[in-house]
Amino acid sequence: MLEPWRLTYGRLIDARTGEPFDDAMAVYCPSPRTYTGEDVLELHCHGAPIVVEQVVAGAVACGARTAEPGEFSRRAVLNGKMDLLQAEAVADLIDARVTAGARTAWEQLQGALSLRLAGLRGSLLGVLADIEANVDFSDDELPTEDFGRRVDTIAAAQVEIGGLLGGFVAARRVRMGVRVVFTGLPNAGKSSLINRLLGFGRMIVSEEPGTTRDVVEECIDLGGMAFIVADTAGLRESGSSTETEAVARACATLKEADVVVMVADSSVPNESASLVDLGLVPGPERVPLVVVFNKSDLPCSLTKADSEKLAGRARRHLWASAATGDGCEALATVLREIGAEITADTEPVGISRVRHQEALRRALESLLAASTLAADATAPELVAMELRQALREIESLTEPLDNEEVLDRIFREFCIGK
């Protein structure tokens, strides 16, 4: 029998053949002080894929089965070791690509968001208890100041939820990355500039215009913040059905951008005017626009008026050369600055999943209805009904649900096992 919490050295034997295949350490972790709250046996073997495969195959041969996606975290939730928000934070921490996303996931895993929602729930429960007590003892007149306190508490909860909802987009950008879409006319050097930013040749580069035929995305870490950089097809009319489809996809991607980088070839006359006159430059009022006049290593063919026509539309503009690397660090700096600007509204402890957003929107709707009903103090039962609905929505963010379909939807996004 293994002694709990002590590593024990031993040899792994293939249950099917009786042959040894690795030296390993085993540790028995009894419940409830485990990740799932259940008894756990850990095997620490060498990490070669063939060794791990033999361990798994041997365990299955002895009656075990492989875990479903997120099954350990799901069991931890059902056994009360963590709540749903913390379980989702585990997945976010595993998937985090940069420091900012990992830090946000860690704070949520430690219960920061859960505690904030618990405080919100507690204040609303207090109001609900007061209202229900008043309904039960309706012969006793409610003090005016108590009624005013209830209304103020509901209003404060609306502000709290409104703040979380208002920070959703910024928090989601921190978790998933700021979307930066590179666009421009064919052969302007979009792919080459992106390769410079990435530090390796991820994007296909060719002298032939129209090489990029689909949207290609890559994640890059700039100052601890994730940026999802998208390379798109050059914008032009074409007789090719394939290129026409590529341009259509590029335009669709532009609509999803947080930042647009418009690349213009400074060695081509009237390049800037063509971009503006053809209506290819997105309005700066929708998303920040950065203009890069590429190929600064070649003789410039743009007139001052031509370049100003495009630069005047941009939040920032700069000159660069993908061939030599000049200006590429400046471009990275501009992206970092804009990224920090558009994520500045991120709540210290915010929501970043659509599930959270939808539940809090429904809770806010119920609280708004409760406020309206409470204004004349004539229908306390209806106020209580709306408060109970708001509380159910808030509780659904953290507590295990009876609906298996909802739990399946949450945990199927996890990696296998964890």
> Can you say whether the dihedral through the CA atoms of 55, 56, 62, 64 is positive or negative?
positive
The owner of tokens 């060794």 is 51
Domain spanning 85-167+350-411: CATH 3.30.930.10: no
CA-to-CA dists, residue 417 to 79, 90, 328, angstroms: 16, 12, 41
CB of 218 closer than 8 Å to CB of 168: no
Q: Which long-range contacts (CB under 8 A, 24 or more apart) does 47-50 make?
A: none
Q: What is the pLDDT along the chain (418 residues), one digit of tens a residue?
A: 789 999 999 999 987 788 899 999 999 999 999 999 999 999 999 989 999 999 998 889 888 999 998 899 999 999 999 999 999 999 999 888 888 888 889 999 999 999 999 999 999 999 998 888 776 655 555 555 466 778 889 999 999 999 999 999 888 888 888 999 998 888 888 888 998 888 754 544 444 444 444 567 888 888 888 899 988 866 655 544 544 555 566 666 777 889 999 898 888 887 666 666 556 666 556 789 899 999 999 998 888 887 887 888 788 999 999 989 999 999 999 999 999 988 886 777 789 999 999 999 999 999 999 998 887 767 888 999 999 999 999 999 998 766 677 778 788 777 766 7
Same fold, 8-66 and 173-342: no
- CA terminus-to-terminus distance, the chain: 27
Q: Domain residue spans in the chain?
A: 8-66, 85-167+350-411, 173-342
Place of tokens 């002895």: 62
Which is the CATH superfamily of the domain at 8-66?
Answer: Probable tRNA modification gtpase trme; domain 1 (3.30.1360.120)
Structure tokens that stand for 413 in this block: 């996004």
Out of 3.40.50.300, 3.90.220.20, 1.20.1260.10, 3.40.190.10, select the CATH number for domain 173-342: 3.40.50.300
